[in-house]
C-alpha cells in the first residue's frame, strides 16, 4: 500500500495540474494503478524537461548525436500498441520516424493514439505545445516496408508475438534495408538468434524490448543474439539513454530476464485461482499490499493480454523443455474462449470504455 505521505503527495499533483479527481471513486486498485501511473509519467517528463535535448534548437539533436546514433531515419514496423508507443518516443526525442503497417486504418489509429497521449501530457503540463507539434511532424506513415526502410539506420520490428511472422518480416527487412542498418526486434520472448537466422547479417540483429506503456516505462531490455556485434550493442545502449530510458543488456535465452521471471509468477497466480487457493481479489491484494506491486498479477495479465502470456509461456516450455512453464489449463481455456483481458473487454476483470473502476469478472465472483 502507498505510504500516507506519498498518497497525499500524488493527490496534490492531481490538484496542481487540474486533473479531475473524485474521492468517492477511490479504491486500493485505483490508487495503486492510476495514481502510480500518473506519478511515473510526471517524474519521467520532468526528467525529459531537464534533458540536454530540450536546450538544443529543434532539429539539432541528430547533429549532436551523430557519433552514437545509427544513421538515417528510424523505422518502426507494426503500428499497434507497442509500435505506436516506440514511434512516439523516438519522435518526441527529435528523431524522424517511418511508422509502417500493412493496414492504413491501423496507421490512422496509431497517429490518433499518439496525438491523444500527447494531449494528455499537454493537459498535465508535462510537455509544451510545440513538443506535441514537433513530435507529430517527425512521424511519417506508410504501408510499404520497402519504402519505409530503404534509407533507415535502424528498423525496430514491433509486430505480433509470432515467430513465423517475425522471421518473414526480418527476411524482408534484410533484403531491403541498407547494409549498415541495424535490425532490432521488440520481441518479449522469441529468440533473437532464431530471428537473426532469417537474415544474412546476424551480427546486425539485436533485441530492443520496450515495456508498455512505452512513453512512461523507463526500461529497455536489450538482447544480444549469438552473433550480435559489440558495436551494435553499444549503439543501441547509447540510443536508449538518449531516449531517456535505462538499458539493461541480457543474453539470448528463452524469456530473456523480464518474462523468464514475470510469466511463471503470473502462471502461478492463475494456478492458485484454478486450484481454489484464493480468489482473484485476494491473490492480487496479497501481491499489491504485501509485496508492494503496483498491480496484482491477474490484473497485470489482463493488461498484457492473456493470449500474449499464453504464447510466452509456450516459448519457455519449448525453449527449456521443462513442463513447469506450461500454461495453466484455466489460462488455456480463457484464451480459447476469447477472454483475453483489457483488449477483449474481459479477462479476470471486466473492462468498460471510459471507466477506470476495477470490476471482477462474474465468472470469478464467489
Contacts of 109 (CB under 8 A, 6+ apart): 79
Q: Is 284 exposed, middle or buried (0-12, 13-18, 19+ CB in 10 A)?
A: buried
Residue 206, helix vs strand vs coil = strand
The SS3 call for residue 306 is: helix
Strand order in the sheet with 154-157: 139-142, 97-100, 74-77, 154-157, 182-185, 205-210, 219-224, 246-251
Rg of the chain taking only CA atoms, in angstroms: 21
Residue 53 grid coordinates: 535535448
CA distance to 22, 45, 347, per residue, from 9 (Å) = 16, 17, 32
What is the DSSP secondary structure assignment for residue 56, as one 8-state letter?
A: S
Contact between 148 and 83 (Cβ < 8 Å): no
Q: Which three cell numbers stand for residue 83?
A: 509500435
148 with 75: CB under 8 angstroms?
Answer: yes
What pLDDT shows up at residue 356? 84
Catalytic position from the list 152, 191, 258, 259: 259
How confident is the model at residue 353, as a pLDDT?
Answer: 85
Per-residue model confidence (pLDDT) at position 16:
43
According to the model, what pLDDT value does residue 111 have?
97
Cβ(33)–Cβ(302) below 8 Å: no
**Cβ atoms of residues 144 and 152 within 8 Å:** no
309 within 8 A of 301, measured Cβ to Cβ: yes
Q: Say if residues 174 and 156 touch (Cβ distance below 8 Å).
A: no
209 in active site: yes
What is the per-residue DSSP string for 210-268? Answer: E-SSTTT--EEEEEE-TT--HHHHHHHHHHHHHTT-EEEEEE-STTTTHHHHHHHHHHH
User: For this structure, is 162 an active site residue?
Assistant: no
Q: How many CB atoms lie within 10 A of CB 275?
A: 10
What does the DSSP 8-state code read for residue 80?
A: S
Active-site residue (options: 34, 41, 161, 221)? 221
Residues in the chain: 366
Indicate the burial class of 338 (C-beta count within 10 angstroms; 0-12, 13-18, 19 or more). Answer: exposed
Whole-number pLDDT of residue 355: 87
Choosing from 69, 84, 185, 188, which is the catalytic residue?
A: 188
Instruction: Give the containing element (helix H, strand E) for 183.
Output: strand 182-185
Task: Tell me the DSSP string of 325-365.
Answer: GSPPHHHHHHHHTT--BGGGTBSSEE--TT----EE-GGG-
Which listed residue (209, 258, 267, 311) is catalytic? 209
How many CB atoms are located within 10 Å of the residue 230 CB?
Answer: 9
Would residue 197 show up in a list of annotated catalytic residues for this protein? no
pLDDT of residue 46: 46
Grid coordinates representing 52 are: 540536454
Lookup: cell for 159: 509486430
Tell me how far apart the alpha carbons of residues 204 and 181 are, in angstroms, rounded to a whole number: 7
**pTM listed for this prediction:** 0.78
Q: Is 357 a catalytic residue?
A: no
> Is residue 164 within 8 Å of 85, Cβ to Cβ?
no
For the chain, 366 residues long, give each residue's pLDDT as a single digit of tens: 444 444 445 444 444 444 444 444 444 444 444 444 444 444 444 444 444 344 343 444 443 343 345 656 899 999 999 999 999 999 999 999 999 999 999 999 999 999 999 999 999 999 999 999 999 999 999 999 999 999 999 999 999 989 999 999 999 999 999 999 999 999 999 999 999 999 999 999 999 999 999 999 999 999 999 999 999 999 999 999 999 999 999 999 999 999 999 999 999 999 999 999 999 999 999 999 999 999 999 999 999 999 999 999 999 999 999 999 999 999 999 999 999 999 999 999 999 988 889 999 999 998
d(CA 101, CA 83) in angstroms, rounded, equals 9
Amino acid at each position: 500500500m502507498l505510504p500516507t505521505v506519498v498518497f497525499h503527495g500524488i493527490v496534490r499533483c492531481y490538484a496542481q495540474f487540474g486533473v479531475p479527481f473524485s474521492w468517492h471513486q477511490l479504491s486500493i486498485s485505483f490508487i495503486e494503478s492510476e495514481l502510480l501511473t500518473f506519478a511515473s509519467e510526471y517524474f519521467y517528463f520532468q526528467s525529459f524537461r531537464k534533458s540536454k535535448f530540450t536546450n538544443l534548437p529543434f532539429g539539432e539533436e541528430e547533429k549532436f548525436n551523430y557519433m552514437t546514433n545509427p544513421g538515417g531515419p528510424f523505422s518502426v514496423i507494426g503500428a499497434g500498441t507497442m509500435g505506436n508507443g516506440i514511434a512516439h518516443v523516438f519522435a518526441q526525442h527529435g528523431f524522424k520516424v517511418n511508422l509502417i503497417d500493412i493496414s492504413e486504418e491501423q496507421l490512422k489509429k496509431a497517429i490518433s493514439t499518439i496525438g491523444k497521449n500527447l494531449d494528455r501530457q499537454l493537459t498535465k503540463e508535462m510537455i509544451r505545445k510545440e513538443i506535441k507539434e514537433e513530435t507529430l511532424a517527425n512521424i511519417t506513415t506508410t504501408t510499404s516496408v520497402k519504402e519505409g526502410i530503404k534509407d533507415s539506420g535502424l528498423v525496430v520490428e514491433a509486430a505480433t508475438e509470432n515467430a513465423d511472422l517475425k522471421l518473414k518480416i526480418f527476411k524482408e527487412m534484410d533484403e531491403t534495408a541498407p547494409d549498415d542498418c541495424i535490425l532490432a526486434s521488440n520481441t518479449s520472448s522469441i529468440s533473437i538468434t532464431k530471428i537473426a537466422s532469417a537474415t544474412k547479417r546476424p551480427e546486425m540483429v539485436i533485441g530492443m524490448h520496450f515495456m508498455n506503456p512505452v512513453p512512461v516505462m523507463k526500461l529497455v531490455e536489450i538482447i544480444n543474439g549469438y552473433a550480435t556485434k559489440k558495436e551494435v550493442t553499444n549503439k543501441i545502449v547509447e540510443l536508449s539513454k538518449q531516449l531517456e530510458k535505462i538499458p539493461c543488456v541480457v543474453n539470448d535465452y528463452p524469456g530473456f530476464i523480464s518474462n523468464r521471471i514475470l510469466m511463471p509468477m503470473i502462471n502461478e497466480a492463475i494456478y492458485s485461482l484454478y486450484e481454489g487457493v484464493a480468489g482473484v481479489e485476494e491473490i492480487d491484494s496479497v501481491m499489491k499490499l504485501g509485496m508492494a506491486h503496483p498491480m496484482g498479477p491477474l490484473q497485470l495479465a489482463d493488461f498484457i493480454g492473456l493470449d500474449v502470456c499464453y504464447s510466452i509461456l509456450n516459448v519457455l516450455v519449448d525453449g527449456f523443455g521443462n513442463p513447469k512453464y506450461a500454461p495453466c489449463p484455466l489460462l488455456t481455456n480463457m484464451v480459447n474462449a476469447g477472454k483475453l483481458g483489457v483488449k477483449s473487454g474481459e479477462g479476470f476483470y471486466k473492462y468498460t470504455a471510459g471507466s477506470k473502476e476495477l470490476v471482477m469478472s462474474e465468472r470469478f465472483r464467489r
